[in-house]
Structure 1
Amino acid sequence: MHLEAVLFSSAKPISIDMLGEVFGLSTEEVQDYIDTLQRELEDQNRGIRLRVSGAGVELVSAMESADYVGHIRKREDKLSNAAMETLAVIAYKQPITKAEIEEIRGVNSDKIIKQLLTRSLIAELGHKDTVGRPILYGTTDEFLRSAGVESIEALHQEVSETEG
C-alpha cells in the first residue's frame, strides 16, 4: 500500500487533506485507507502503528515494542519535571504570558520557556494588549503530536474526565 510508504518517508505527520491531494482521493476515502492500514498493522502484530493527531497522520512504534525501542533511545533527552509542569500550565491556560506562568509556578521560567521553544513544543502566539505588550505563548502541533492528542480541546476533555 502506498499510504504506508508515504507515511514512512515523511519526517513529520501528514494532514489528511495533504494525503487526499497526494492520492487524488476524498477525505472519506483517505480515512478509509487509514482505518484499513491501522487494522492491518494491529492484526498482523507489526512493530509499527498509525497515530492520528491534530498534527496529522504518522507511523509510530507499537506500544508492545516499547522495551526494545527504549534500548535505542536510551540517550534521548527527556523533559524535566519543571519543563513538564510549565508545558502543562501553557497547554491548559494558553494563550499565556511568561509572568502569568511564573505566577502560577512561583519560580522563574526563562530557561524552561527557551527549552520548550527550542523543542518546538510551544510557540510565540503574539503579544498581550497590555502595558509592555508581553509575549503570549501557546502549544504547537509538535506538542499535540508528542502528547498523542488531536487537539487542545481533546486534551482538556481528557483532563476533565480524569478530574471528575
Structure 2
Amino acid sequence: MSLPTMHLEAVLFSSAKPISIEMLEEVFELSKEEVQDYIDTLQRELEEKNRGIRLRVSGAGIELVSAMESADYVGHIRKREDKLSNAALETLAVIAYKQPITKAEIEEIRGVNSDKIIKQLLTRSLIAELGHKDTVGRPILYGTTDEFLRSAGVESIEALHQEVSETEG
C-alpha cells in the first residue's frame, strides 16, 4: 500500500495527543517498518520544506509540534498559558530523577512542604501515583507520566537521565 505522507500528517494533526506507532500500524494497515519509513519521510519533508511544524517522537508517541525556529512567534500565543513555578519545576525534576519517590522523600530533598505542588503536578498529569511503598504507613509513590515525557520532549526517563549525565560530565 502506498501511503501519501499527507495522510500521516493529517492523522497526527487531528490527534489531541501523541499517537503510538502501533496505533498508526492499525490505522494504515502497515507494518512497523513501513510506518517508520513514512514517519522518517514526513519528518524529512517538513524539515526540507522549512515548514512551521515538525514531528516529535517521545515515550508517549509521535506528534506534530511547532518548529523551534518559530519559538519566538509561538511564544506570544503561549504567554497566556500557565507556566510551572520554579518550585514546581524543582519538584518535577526531583521526581523524574528519583522515581518512584514518596512525598516525604521529596520534602527531605527540597527541605519544604510539597503538598500543594504535588497536587498541581497531579492535576496537570505530569506525575501519577505509582502505588505504595512497602513501609510503615504505606506512603504513596510518585513518578512521571507520558505527558511529562511529551512535555520534556524525551522518549524515556532513561533518555532524560542520559541527557543529564552528558551535561554534567
TM-score normalized by the length of structure 2: 0.96
Question: Are 1:103 and 2:108 an aligned pair?
Answer: yes
Note the alpha carbon deviations across 1:15-41, whole angstroms, 9 max, x for none.
011101110111111111000000000
Offset of residue 70 of structure 1: 1.1
For 1:155 and 1:125, the matched residues in 2 are separated by: 19
Identity in percent: 95
Deviations 1:57-88 (CA, angstroms, capped at 9, x unpaired): 00000011111111111111110110000000
Q: How large is the Cα RMSD of the aligned pairs?
A: 0.5
Paired with 1:71 and 1:126, the residues of 2 have a C-alpha distance of 39
* 1:15-94 map, 5 Å: 15-94=20-99
Distance 1:62 1:161 in 2: 24
CA distance in 2, matches of 1:150, 1:40: 22
Q: Which deviates more from structure 2 when the two are superposed, residues 69-78 or residues 33-42?
A: 69-78
Q: Which structure 1 residue ranges, 4+ long, deviate > 6 Å from structure 2?
A: none
1: distance between equivalents of 2:138 and 2:85?
29
How far apart, in 2, do the equivalents of 1:70 and 1:154 lie? 26
Give the secondary-structure state (helix, strand or coil) at the position aligned to 1:77.
Answer: coil
How many residue pairs get matched? 164
Structure 1 unaligned spans of 5+: none
Residues 110-132 of structure 1: CA deviation (Å, up to 9, x unaligned)? 00000000000000000001010
Give 5+ residue unaligned stretches, structure 2.
1-5
1:84, 1:71 → 2: CA distance? 21
